[in-house]
Structure 1
Amino acid sequence: MTPRLTRHATSEGPRWALDGRYLPAGFSLAAWLALPTDAAQAQLAAPERGAPADGPLLAPIEDAQEAWASGVTYLSSRMAREAESQSADVYQKVYSAARPELFFKACGWRTRGHREGIRVRADSAWNVPEPELVLLLDSAGGIRGYTVGNDVSSRSIEGENPLYLPQAKVYDGACAIGPGIVLCAADALRDLAIDLQIHRGGELAFAGQTRSSQIKRGLEELAGYLFRELSFPHGAFLFTGTGIVPDESFTLQAGDVVRIDIGGLVLENPVL
């Protein structure tokens, strides 16, 4: 069984668990991601497992980590951006350029977890979830595993002007990851099934599928660009882009429930 980290609320504060049992109270993701790979693996193998982790799930990220995101890494995403934008050539160029699009998405404390509410902007007319494979990166930029991410976005704001991207992407309730972190090497992530379902009033309102093999750029390439001129001493999370984008006939509404399944790891969030 592939090891899985989860983070839980307890009476003593947030606590990490491995495969459903609590790790020692002093375990922190930040310190673990700062260790060399061999030492990190040894640390998880060494401690005896604690009690069953029965506390409510929290987003598997600490305040010390940041979540960043990659844009226009799927052909379907490039085409969707061209259709929405008044500056379509921007997306054509970034899709084929040597340098990828990277942008800040959220700090750890602003990130929502499994079954926590996400939001759409009140000043946006067209809003969508973006299901994404999210890499867990250590302090050296190495890939330690993955989680599921929802890069909630305002397509109407981004489409109006690409310079509005931070407002379209970064706001309260716009970033969700979870429910846990699957610990694995990069090779295990190259062809994962990605499935999106949006339920409204108990009915399926939208569904889409893709695979991580459709990402144009290598996972290590994306991580490498993020770490070129930035240091992340406590590790980082990197969204790798979306290949499922609802067309302009669909926009998220309060009461919707977004379900994202990547390789059997399921993140679900209601829209507030």
Structure 2
Amino acid sequence: MAQGTGLPGEGSFVGRVWREGIGPSVVEARGGRVFDVTCPAAPTMRDLLEQPDPAGFVAGIAGEDLGPLAALEAASERGEGTRLLAPCDLAAVKACGVTFARSMIERVIEERAGGDPARAEALRARIAGQVGASLRNLVPGSDEAGEVKRLLQAEGLWSQYLEVGIGPDAEVFTKAQPMSAVGWGATVGLHPVSRWNNPEPEVVLAVDSAGRIKGATLGNDVNLRDVEGRSALLLGKAKDNNASASVGPFIRLFDGGFGLDEVRRLELSLRVEGEDGFRLEGRSSMAEISRDPADLVAQTRGRHHQYPDGFVLYLGTMFAPVQDRDGPGQGFTHHLGDLVTVATPALGRLVNRVGLATEAPEWTFGTAALMRNLAGRGLI
């Protein structure tokens, strides 16, 4: 993972590390070094994001110098010592699906193929040819979207994925439990029952308890296409497994130079490098998202649902891998050992290696353990 976290030279970047012999700590990356900024006013990332001005708050903390970021990256790759964690702790880990037209078509194909990748190629040619162009400029929930829905229903092509893609209600689901996401350098886990799966490069928003967006980071919403394709009721099994949610490397806090308008213009790149020499590259442009990020936050949190510890929200992806890997018409699926890199210049690089959920390190440090640890350190 020689490419590192790739943080830009400007901006306020906060994250979390596991300090050997101490436990989880809130940190800020400054000038290629990492400083522990954990304090009674911000013992967790949740508390830091609750500050009215998180970037200004951490700028006023000298912190404890933990050394060069490169050393933490090396330790993270080894999975030992003081190492990077996902930059979210008590926040709920939520995700939005089917927010881009390209991925929306692929979800319809998954459903019609019943989770069978061998059937996907013929379905892709038929469905994308009939409905692809008509969906790209639609505003979800608009009168025009309603007319397209009626036409597709008449042709027998309507799908639950099209409903959340162009209907009034966004798909918002729980991707992972608080404290369970993995960070830069960790293994991401595939459920062993899956034979058709892929990475999903996404922007992830950091939102406080009042619904205010405080920053952004990167995420890999590991996706089991065959499991969800068999039945949408298997979404929980397809999405929430050990190490299936990757977030990081750091949260870039909103400040005078970076905010939601900049997030709306981000261009994400994806690279998958297999131990078999296979290489896949893709991209996801936030300019092509069908639902505005602020609307997705509002559909997640409001009078209908509160998050007292805030939440991080995956915004969805336009990336839909169709490149054949194991044979003609088979499309893409992961091999164990794949190295996945999600990147954008403003947020850095999120790098993970692919393994099985059953072989990734077990998730054992939860909320209760965090509270006991912070109490023992005199932080709460």
Matches within 5 A, 1:1-272: 1-10=10-19, 11-19=21-29, 20-26=34-40, 27=42, 28-35=44-51, 37-38=52-53, 40-53=54-67, 55-62=82-89, 64-86=90-112, 89-184=159-254, 185-201=259-275, 203-228=277-302, 229-247=304-322, 248-264=330-346, 265-272=348-355
In the TM superposition, structure 1's runs of 4+ consecutive aligned residues that sit over 4 Å from their partners are none
* 2:13 counterpart letter in structure 1: R
- Report the Cα distance in structure 2 between the residues aligned to 1:119 and 1:108, rounded to whole angstroms: 17
- Whole-angstrom distance in 1 between the partners of 2:47 and 2:351: 28
**CA distance, structure 2, for counterparts of residue 168 and residue 24 of structure 1:** 35
Using structure 2 for the length normalisation, give the TM-score. 0.67
* Structure having the larger proportion of residues in helix: 2
CA RMSD of aligned residues (A): 1.7
State the percentage of identical aligned residues: 29
Deviation at 1:74, TM superposition (A): 0.4
- Aligned residue in 1 for 2:132: none
In our comparison, the structure showing a higher alpha carbon Rg is 2
Superposed CA offset, 1:65-89 (max 9, x none): 1110001000111011111113861
Deviation per residue, 1:147-191 (Å, 9 max, x gap): 110110110111111121111111112111111111122122011
Q: Which moved more, 1:84-93 or 1:150-159?
A: 84-93
Distance change >3 Å, CA 46–CA 216, structure 1 → 2? same
Structure 2: runs of 5 or more not aligned: 1-9, 73-81, 113-156, 323-329, 356-380
**Please, which moves more after superposition, 159-168 or 19-28?**
19-28
Deviations 1:89-138 (A, max 9, x none): 11112111111000000123221111100121111220111111000001
TM (norm. structure 1) is 0.93
| Preserved CA contact (<8 Å) 1:33 1:234 | no
SS at match of 2:194: coil
Matches of 1:88 and 1:109, distance apart in 2: 37
Q: In the alignment, residue 240 of structure 1 is paired with which amino acid?
A: L
Aligned-pair CA distance for 1:202: 6.7
Q: Per-residue displacement from partner, 1:198-242 (whole Å, max 9, x unpaired)?
A: 001273521101211111111110001100222112211000001
Higher strand share: 1
